[in-house]
Every structure is written in C-alpha cells, then in structure tokens.
Chains A and B, each alone.
Chain A
C-alpha cells in the first residue's frame, strides 16, 4: 500500500468486485478506511464510488471478494447488519420517508419505546432536536420531511447518520445540495466526529472541499482503484491525473458552425410544488437551430422539472412553448413528441428504458408509427432503422434482439438517445446525458451531440458538471431553486460566475430561507 499514516486501519476491502446486470461497477478493489481520519474517495460519475460505499454499508453485497472489519472477515446481508457493526451512511439519493416527521426519520428502525413498546415520540423529538441543533439547520423535529427543501433533507439525512453513533460514517456527496454556509457547519461536525475517533469516508466531486478536509485519498476510475495516498502528498493535478487517466476528457471540439434561426422558445414556464412554492419559477429561454444550450445547476435546481414541463408531463404546469415560432398547443407527451420534441431522461433505468424488452424494441418504442402500414409493423423497415441507429451511435450489442438490461450503462444510454433520435426531433432535451457511463461512451455521447447540432437540431442539455457545461455549450443558462439565475455566452462564462449564479436562487442568507415553508 502506498498510503501510510498514523491512523489505524479499521476496515479493509480485499479484491472486491460488484457486477450489476449490464455493468461491472467495481473491479477488484482494495480499499482501506482509517480511524479518526477523513478518508476521501473521488472519481468521475459512474466510476463506482457509490457502489463501493454501498458494499461497505451493507446495501449491496459484493459479487466477489471479502470485507475485513478490524481484521475479522464480515459479510453484511443488509444495511441493518452494517449499522449494528457501527457503520452508518449518508446516501446520495435521499433515503428518507417523506410522509414521516424528521424525528421519525432519524429514529426509523431504532424507535425509542417506553415500557409498553409504544413509541415515545416526545423523547425522540427531544433527541432529534439535539442532533439538528448541532447542524444549526433550523429544522423542527416534528416537521414532515416532504415539506423540507432538498438541502434541508440532506441535513436530516446527515443528522440521522450522526445519530447512529457509528464508528465508520460514510458520506456520499453530502454537500451536493447544501449552501456554502451549510457546508461550513457540516465541516465543523466532521471535525468534531474525527476528534472522537470516527472513521469518515467522504465522497465528493468538489476537489477544493476534498483537499481541505481529507486526510487520505483514494481515486477510482471505471470501477478500478487507480491511486491511494495521504492527502498531504498530493495536489489537484495528481488527483485529476488519477481520475481521468492519461486520456483526458474527450469533449469533441466545436466545429464552429453558426447556429441558425430560433427553433424553440419557452415562455414563463411555472410548475407549482406540492409543498408550496414553485419547482420551476417563471423560466423563459430560447434556443436556435444547431445550438447547444447548457443548463447548469445543483441537484434540485429545477432542471429536470423544466424538461418535464416542456415535454408535457405535468398537466398543471403553466407557460407556453413554441417550436420554430409556432405555439405548441398540444399538452400531452405523445403529441409533443410528434411536434418534434424528445427527452433523454436523467434516470434511464426508471424513465428511459423498458429493461425487459429487447434493444430493438426499446429503440423503436417512441417511433413505431414510422414503420407501420395500416396496423402491421414492417419488420424489415424496423430492422433497418435499428441496424442503422446501432451503427451510427456505435452501440456495442451482438444482437439487437438481446434484452437491453444486458448492456453496459454507456450502451444503454446510447439506446435511450437512439430512441429519441428515431422520432426525428427538432429539439432534443438531454438531462445529465453522461451520468453513470464510462469515459469512452461519454466521448461518443458528446460527439453525437456535436454532430446533431451540426445537423441543425437544437439541444438543451442539463448537467451539474462544470467541465461538461463549459466544454460543450454554445450558451450556458444557470438555474437555482427553480429560477433562471444566469445566461452566459461561452466566451464570457467563467466557472466562478456559473457557481455564483447557481447559488443565487436561494437568497443571500440560507437561514432565512429555511423558514419559508413554515
């Protein structure tokens, strides 16, 4: 092991692999977690960080390999097992029950009961209030979780993990939805835990954060561990080199074509939130043919919701959209697709693919009417379109009749893109198109975006990756808390300006905002 330090190893993974249907998420990883230190884990989207952590937290079981806790081999069959052994986790996806109160969430599965096995709500709320006080979140323990802002929910999730009194605490991107002030508070809590000898595993994309609080760093790339060091021996460049390898990110160069006429315009799009307020707050934007408009924003900024409104997935959304100057009166998804809109959703498993159907059926699902004579699907015509799309997008599949779930993440994403393209769209909405796919597939996806824009499509693409939005967009829009808070030409956009704009929607003082729903 290259990493050496003064801290004892508490947990060790040996040769751990994890395979999902279609993807090898982690390949023979060796990983050490040290006591009383912040063990940082970095890697690009889809590098396997979250999977590795889920294995430690008992959420997933390794396909191969073993886990040693204080030198003793263990296997966790559930997260409950791991919690019993002192391992807690703050999940990236919020694992909270929206219909329960904050206190009930914090004490879920370890409810405090009185002598008659009745839940002692008052005691729970008192103890929950203590944890919340440490996070200075301004959250009352009796509030329903679904009424909280996403950043506050993240704080509840953190409070819940802290309340476990864990020896090992895993935090998977805990700051992704937090404001700067909230991040500072979190770091204080982390320092406090560290002093008490807790081993912290910290995952984040924000390098400056990692360098500030990390003691040890491990870098993952494509499911493999590519570097392990003590933090004081490394610098940003080392991290980046380990993360992306020798082949730097291939963003496909702009070809310098000039965008044409306006092809799409959204006016005053609003989407009310169930809990009050607006998830999409009076957003207007316009897009020209052949233009790539990047929409940057943090988790919960309302990017996906905006796309949903444009596609007609929310009947109660207001505002108007225009394609090539003509107002789109159709309100349902089916007819909007016919008008030339197509969405590549953020979560391809949930919204993009019918995983038990074949690659071919998935590709043509949205465009079947193109192959139909009377009511018969022309097999030859369909096959031809499928073959052509497989070739154009370089989808690696032996036989298009294979189930789509047997493909790797990147190829699955290409199938989703192919499905959208087969409808012959004029405007393509891409929500985090590079999420959870490998470097090679990413390059393919970016190249495809370039090619499509050259062919005159208008592309709106949402991402929370700064590099990506800077490299690919002709113009950059920034969203924050449902509002459009910035619009930059590529020439004038700087990372600092984008980051600043992405926090604007929450108002200057985060503490004030937290009472907005009271």
Chain B
C-alpha cells in the first residue's frame, strides 16, 4: 500500500515535487487504501453498524495517541499511558462499588459525574508525577515513564488484589447509577465516546495551532535551548504535555470500564505501543518538533481499520501482528525517504543557482 512511493523515491529530482506531495499525503492515501481494500475483501465492512463499532475501537487508541503526540513533539515519550488506563478504570470501579470509607462510620458515595471528575484528576496527577520526574529530577522520559508504568500497574492490581470489579451498575439509593452512559450511550445516533473524541481532538488541534502553549510545545521539541532563551517556560510546557497524556489515558480508562461495566486491573496493557504507532504513522517525528493531531487521528484509524478488517477477513491474529508491524516500519521508511528527498531537491537547486 505504501511501498509505491518508497520505490519511486529513487527517481530523479526533477519529478521530486509530485513525489513529495504524494509522500506527504501518505497516511491519508493509506487510510483510503485500507478502506477500499476491506470494503471489497470483507463483506459487511461498509455497513453503518460496523463502521460505528470500528470507530469506537479506534477512539480508544486515538485518545491515547493524541496525548502521546504532544509528548513526542516535545521530544519525550510516555510509556505509562497503558497503566494509567488500567489504574483509572480501577479507581472508577472502586468508587462506584465502595465509595470512600471515611473511617468514622460514614462512607461517601459520589454520583457518576463526580466519579468521572475524580478519575480524570487521578490520571492528570499521574501525568504530573511523570512531568515532575522529568523536569525537576532530570530523569530521562523513557525511564521516568517506564517506572511509572510499573508503579501504576502495581497499584491497579493492589486495589483489588488482582480481581475484577464486576457489575458497575450502581445503586439508585446511593445515586451511583448511570455509569454505563459513557460506553453505551448515544447522542444523535453516535456513541458518546465518539463525541468525546471529537471534542477533545478539536480542542487539541486548536491548542496546537492557535495558542501560545501549542506554539511552545513545537518550539521545545524543535530546539529546547533556543526555546529557553526565547523565554519559553520549558518545564511548564513539559508538565502540561504529560498531564494531558495522563488525562487522555484517564478518559480511556473511564470509557473501557463503562463499556464493560466492569474494571479489570490488567486493562490497557501494551496500549502505549499502539498509541506510539498511531502517532508515528500519522507523521509525528520521534526526534521531536513535528506532528499534527489530525495526522495522528488518521494514523489511529489506519491501524484500527487494519486490525478490525483483518479480523473480519478471518486472518489469524498472528499474521495481524506481522502486518501491523510492517505497516509501521514502511511508514517510517517513507517518512525518512521524504525528508532526504526534500533536502536533496533544495540543496541541488541552491548549488546550481549559487
């Protein structure tokens, strides 16, 4: 699907501009390619019910990938998101079932809205821990978030001794009912989770493009030293991206436990890798400074549709992994080829002109 431009990159520099345009649009071309391929190869693929179901799957990865995109743009990485998903799901489940025991004979129960807020706060707090480790204690992002990955997963398992919190229906007399709305509810015919994705995605894209904070995120990733000298508060920017990533992970934790009406402490294992894959597929550069929310969403859709489509075609899950891996590798190879081609075209032009 994406190997056509890769082969063609050997072509002469004169046809460079057409090729460059094709290469830049590669994620979008890939998305259209998988859509066309599966609508022919898999029956029922284009049915409304299937499309909505797929979107719900994609939404989960897309949330994490958006948070990951900002982190990667600043030149970092967040490996802890999968564990935050698990831990936040457990927090929500615990609050629905048990409330908070005040140790004086009273137990506070929260309504679903309050539970959601508390859960989000927990996600943001863990993100803040990541941020503090990275900015204040100078731990490399990879190591800091790897540590938090283990800690958060361990806490999730400890919260229930490894058991699932089942049946999160809640009790009407405690006001804890309605937890299923996030996962199963619909607004104007679309699942609630899709609406939340749209809102967060639009917000994130706006932030990236039209606010000083967004500009600073790119500046920090592009050249941290220059950003610092220009008066950008580099530490604050980094704190924000990790907290936003934690927030996105908490949203996913809420949605998953609401869909299942249960919280399982192992939820979200290896989600961080899918999120990184989607961001990279969408054109985010691992060396920082480059990436878009739109690209990441498209990337998440390519990965999501690929895996769902292959399931519908009955391809073995082992082969699915191989294919997913190849797609990611090809995407990055094309990305590098595009960079090289682009710089060679401009350099040759300047050499001739000079």
| Chain A interface residues (CB < 8 Å from chain B) | 17, 19-21, 24, 27, 63-64, 223, 311, 313, 333-334, 337-338, 343, 345, 350-357, 361, 364-366, 368-369, 372, 375-377, 379, 406, 419, 423
Contacts and interface: CB of A to CB of B under 8 A. Distances in A.
5 contacts: A19-B354, A333-B228, A343-B229, A354-B223, A365-B227
Given A354-B289, A377-B212, A334 B233 contact: yes
A187 B230 CA distance: 43
B222 A357 contact: yes
Q: Which of the listed residues A20, A223, A333, A350 has the most CB atoms from chain B within 10 Å of its own CB?
A: A333
Given A356-B290, A377-B210, 8 more contacts: A27-B354, A63-B348, A337-B231, A354-B218, A355-B222, A361-B215, A361-B219, A406-B346
A333 B229 contact: yes
Contact of A372 (B212, B218, B289): B212
A179 B213 CA distance: 48
B219 A365 contact: yes
Contacts of A419: 230
A444 B203 CA distance: 43
B311 interface: no
Given A24-B350, A365-B215, A355 B232 contact: no
B4 interface: no
A334 B219 contact: no
Given A365-B230, A365-B232, A368-B215, A19 B222 contact: no
A357 B210 contact: no
A353 B229 CA distance: 10
A17 B232 contact: no
Nearest to A353: B226
B230 A19 contact: no
Given A27-B354, A337-B231, A365-B232, A350 B212 contact: no
B103 interface: no
B295 to A, nearest CB: 15
A229 to B, nearest CB: 25
B351 A24 contact: yes
A377 B350 contact: no
A389 to B, nearest CB: 15
Given A19-B347, A350-B226, A333 B231 contact: yes
Contacts of B232: 334, 365
A355 B285 CA distance: 14
Interface size class of B (residues with CB under 8 A): 20 to 34
A64 B351 contact: yes
Contact of A17 (B229, B231, B354): B354
B211 interface: yes
B225 A351 contact: yes
A25 B148 CA distance: 48
B190 to A, nearest CB: 28
B218 A357 contact: yes
Contacts of B348: 63
A375 B212 contact: yes
Contacts of B14: none
A391 B346 CA distance: 25
B238 to A, nearest CB: 14
B202 to A, nearest CB: 14
Contact of A354 (B222, B233, B343): B222
Q: Which of the listed residues A20, A354, A375 has the most CB atoms from chain B within 10 Å of its own CB?
A: A354
Contacts of A377: 210-212, 215
Contacts, number: 92
B347 A354 contact: no
A423 B222 contact: no
A354 to B, nearest CB: 4
B133 to A, nearest CB: 20
B240 to A, nearest CB: 13
Q: Which of the listed residues B216, B230, B290, B348 has the most CB atoms from chain A within 10 Å of its own CB?
A: B230
Contacts of A350: 223, 225-226
Contacts of A364: 215
Contact of A376 (B210, B223, B225): B210
Contacts of B227: 354, 365
A19 B210 contact: no
Contact of B229 (A311, A372, A406): A311
A179 B233 CA distance: 41
Contacts of B212: 368-369, 372, 375, 377
A365 B212 CA distance: 8
Given A24-B350, A63-B351, A366 B223 contact: no
Nearest to A369: B212
A223 B225 CA distance: 29
Interface string B194-236: 0000000000000000111101101100110111111111000
Contact of A334 (B211, B231, B289, B347): B231
A374 B343 CA distance: 39
Interface in B271-307: 289-290
A366 B233 CA distance: 11
A364 B219 CA distance: 11
Contacts of A311: 229
Contact of A366 (B230, B290, B343): B230
A375 B354 contact: no
A337 B231 CA distance: 7
A232 to B, nearest CB: 34
A225 to B, nearest CB: 14
Given A354-B219, A357-B222, A376 B211 contact: yes
Query: 7 nearest interchain CB pairs?
Result: A24-B354, A354-B222, A366-B230, A337-B231, A368-B212, A334-B231, A354-B223
A351 B226 contact: yes
Contacts of B215: 361, 364-365, 368, 377
B354 A353 contact: no
A375 B226 CA distance: 23
Q: Which of the listed residues B210, B218, B222, B290 has the most CB atoms from chain A within 10 Å of its own CB?
A: B222
Q: Which of the listed residues B228, B289, B343, B350 has the most CB atoms from chain A within 10 Å of its own CB?
A: B350
B291 to A, nearest CB: 11
Nearest to B287: A356
Contacts of B350: 19, 24
A470 B347 CA distance: 38
Contacts of B210: 376-377, 379
Given A353-B223, A354-B218, A354-B289, A21 B354 contact: no
A375 B227 CA distance: 19
A379 B215 CA distance: 13
Given A353-B223, A361-B218, A368-B215, A345 B346 contact: no
